[in-house]
Amino acid sequence: MFAVLPTDCASLSAMADVCVVLPFHFGTATLVIIVASMFWLWKYRWQQRGRLEPKQWPILGSGVEIATHFDTMHDWLLSYFQKGLKTFRVVLPGIVYTYTVDPANVEYILKTNFSNFPKGEVYQKNMESLLGHGIFNSDGEVWRQQRKTASLEFANRILREYSTVAFRENSIMLAEILARACQSHEAIEMQDLFMRFTLDGICKVGFGVTIGTLSSSLPVPFMKEFDNASEAVIYRFFDPFWKLKKLLNIGNEAKLADSVKVLDDFSYKVIKTRREELQLTNAQGKEKKADLLSRFILLGEDSAQNFTDKTLRDIILNFIIAGRDTTAVTLSWFVYLLGNNPDVADKIYEELHLLEKGVNVNESLPLNEKINQYSSLLSYDVLTKLQYLHAAITETIRLYPAVPQNPKGILADDILPDGTVLKKGGLVSYVPYAQARMTDVWGADANEFRPERWLKDGMFIPESPFKFNAFQAGPRICLGKDSAYLQMKMVAAVLCHFFKFQLVPGHPVKYRMTATLVMNQGVQVFVTRR
């Protein structure tokens, strides 16, 4: 049970020598390893001293720098482009991201060699929990099928007329809320209102459902959970352990699962309601519904497509992120820019005021009746003639694109027009947020909010979609572009005709890292009558 210890002096002396030598050798080896590692890291960093691209560390790549700047990533990317780079790489464990603002590269990605840059497996896996296999998260035949159906519906005159009426009604409701804010002289948060406004709009036009979020002062669970889910899926792009977290249901993945359940419950309830209403309509021989969801359901029943409830759920959430978030985000930044540029707001008002020329306006009417009377003038054809308003909204989209960076998968090794080598399996992103601020793309006044840059002799002149690519370009160009402009011009015309916006001093206006350029704390304004 006990060790036998040596008793002679020679043996004891030998043990003592070993006890002295072993710690010495162990300590020396450790010191050598530490010194060698430090020298290796110093040499590794020294070799990158003149590097313009993000610095890299062994194993971690640029992960440390990304983690440090994650909340301001769009401006972090911009800082590298402003060093003179038009394209650069960010290396992360297991994947390489390539970012570009070069219009020639954008054209190559979105049009010239479109087939080599699908959404790709990485993007699809990261976004699948939220978007499923909807149009914004699919490739190949699934994408073509949904796009073909959606393109036919967006070109439908009946849907356009239905949308115009729905957007007008919601704009009147929003204007009435601001009218009450004028009387109370209290600050109001506009992004929340716009999110409610666009959610009501997409639910009415897209799904034939009136949910009345504008008429309620209570938080809307769907809105909150949609934002949380959108933020969580973005983290996946920079978190190599997200699949493990999902398996263990911890951290962001646990929150994402909870949020998605709320979104699913909402979506499936809408689908069930629409199916029942369509069956009743069909039985009674009434006119078919004009909303998009109804059209998808009917098309599925009349053809071999036969959209399942899961397919329809994906369609709903994809159209919500397109029809609610992007439009609400743009309108929020629009109000922010008008608050900082009252001269632009005055020019918009002058254009809007001309619509009343020749119309008998009763100035003694209550404000809500004036709003109704003026809104009745805003037909689809009239809105298309508002050149300065269109330019002001477009300039907002240029500076604050709803989707600030847009990644694509790389199917096979490739070379961009500027010579950048792309490797299969990576991601390449064009960055509208940074591109808008590049003086060699937009001129010396690139950072200025100047609607006039879009006008020539008072007429709106569009730019190349590879230079102004907020709506993408090529085969994936946004199908809802015209519908988005219709909704934004409708509400902007009503609000800018009757109200002025003054920013609340000291309120921080910063973006939040989600799939869209959402303001972190919204935009607080004081609203006054014109």
* pLDDT at res. 6: 43
CA neighbours closer than 13 Å in the CB half-sphere of residue 127: 23
CA–CA separation, 143 and 279 (whole Å): 28
Taking only the tens place, the pLDDT of each residue in 21-55 is 445 466 677 777 777 666 666 666 555 666 678 87
* pLDDT at res. 265: 92
User: What's the predicted TM-score (pTM) here?
Assistant: 0.84
Helix, strand, or coil (residue 428): strand
Q: Are 515 and 234 in contact (CB under 8 A)?
A: yes
Taking only the tens place, the pLDDT of each residue in 489-506 is 999 999 999 999 999 999
Q: DSSP state, 286?
A: P
* pLDDT at res. 324: 85
pLDDT, mean of each 10-residue run, the chain (530 residues):
43 45 61 68 60 78 85 95 94 92 97 94 91 88 83 80 92 94 91 92 84 68 85 88 93 94 91 86 73 80 74 89 89 98 97 85 82 93 96 98 95 97 96 97 97 97 96 91 94 97 95 91 95
Closest CA to 201 of 310, 378, 307, 322: 322
Question: Distance from first CA to last CA of the chain, Å, rounded?
Answer: 98
Q: Which residues are annotated as a binding site for heme?
A: 478
CA–CA separation, 235 and 229 (whole Å): 10
CA–CA separation, 388 and 461 (whole Å): 11
All structural domains of the chain, each given as residue ranges with its CATH number in brackets, are 54-116+402-435 (3.30.43.20), 117-401+436-529 (1.10.630.10)
* pLDDT at res. 4: 41
* pLDDT at res. 382: 95
CA–CA separation, 214 and 217 (whole Å): 8
SS3 content of the chain, % helix, strand, coil (to 5): 60, 10, 30
Helix, strand, or coil (residue 92): strand
Q: Which residues are annotated as a binding site?
A: 478
Helix, strand, or coil (residue 119): coil
